[in-house]
Structure 1
Amino acid sequence: MGAQAHAATIQLFDLLESRYALRVIWALADGHPQTFRLLQDSVGGATPNTLNTRLKELRAAWLVEHGGSGYQLTPQGADLARRLGEVPSFAGKWVHSSVREAHTTPRRG
């Protein structure tokens, strides 16, 4: 990975690490626009201030937009959501192998 791609990856991860950022993307991944209130419920009851801040950041990053029906992912945000859709499969395999590894690795101490 080149330096520019690495820097872009770090920038994206910094944004996604922000509280509720991933939850907003997951909540909008089905393609249906959501009002602020519905989105607040979908992401687990974020405070209005926190959700508003996160939405501003995601809009500035061209991942989320606001239309007449509410908030929705931009085409770029939808692409990210599709790529993140692979994470649950990886996570299931990872947890399974981590549990198996924990039971087969001798304890140190």
Structure 2
Amino acid sequence: MAALDLLGRRWALRVLWELSLDPAGFRELQRRCEGMSSSVLSTRLSELADAGLVESGDDSYRLTALGRELVDALGPLTAWSDKWARQMGAAEADGAGTSADTGTGTGTEAGRPRR
């Protein structure tokens, strides 16, 4: 359950998501995560590095092999989330509680969240 504690911290998943798209330096990563303070970003990067999910080098941060595995493992959750969001949007539009959406599209490419 320590993994869920780490991933449940504010901005942790966003940092992983951004680094899954492209490695980035600190300032670039902060720009991508609009609204995140530099102190929170520094803390999250440190925690994710201590957990073996992120590494730094050449003035940039990137996912480790373990971090990439985690992002891949989150792919099914992303697909479920996309479907849920579509159903909730249809329910709001219909004024009903549920939707009969059975689409198979995930809104992701290679298991990665869309930007």
Interval containing the TM-score (normalised by the shorter chain): 0.7 to 0.9
- Which of 81, 90, 93 is equivalent to 1:91? 81
> TM-score by structure 1 length?
0.76
Kindly provide the CA deviation profile for residues 8-50 of structure 1, in whole angstroms up to 9, marking residues without a partner as x.
Answer: xx211100111110000000112x3200000001122311111
Unpaired runs of at least 5, structure 2: 100-115
- Assess, with a 3 A threshold, how the Cα gap between structure 1 residues 103 and 73 changes in structure 2: closer, same or farther: closer
> TM-score by structure 2 length?
0.72
How many residue pairs align between the two structures? 94
Kindly provide the CA deviation profile for residues 76-98 of structure 1, in whole angstroms up to 9, marking residues without a partner as x.
Answer: 00111112223221112223455
Q: Could you say which structure has the higher helix fraction?
A: 1
Q: Bigger radius of gyration, 1 or 2? A: 1
C-alpha contact 1:33 1:69 (8 A) present in aligned 2: no
The CA RMSD over aligned residues, in Å, is: 2.0
Unpaired runs of at least 5, structure 1: 1-9, 105-109
Task: Give me the identity figure in percent.
Answer: 38
Corresponding position of 2:39: 49
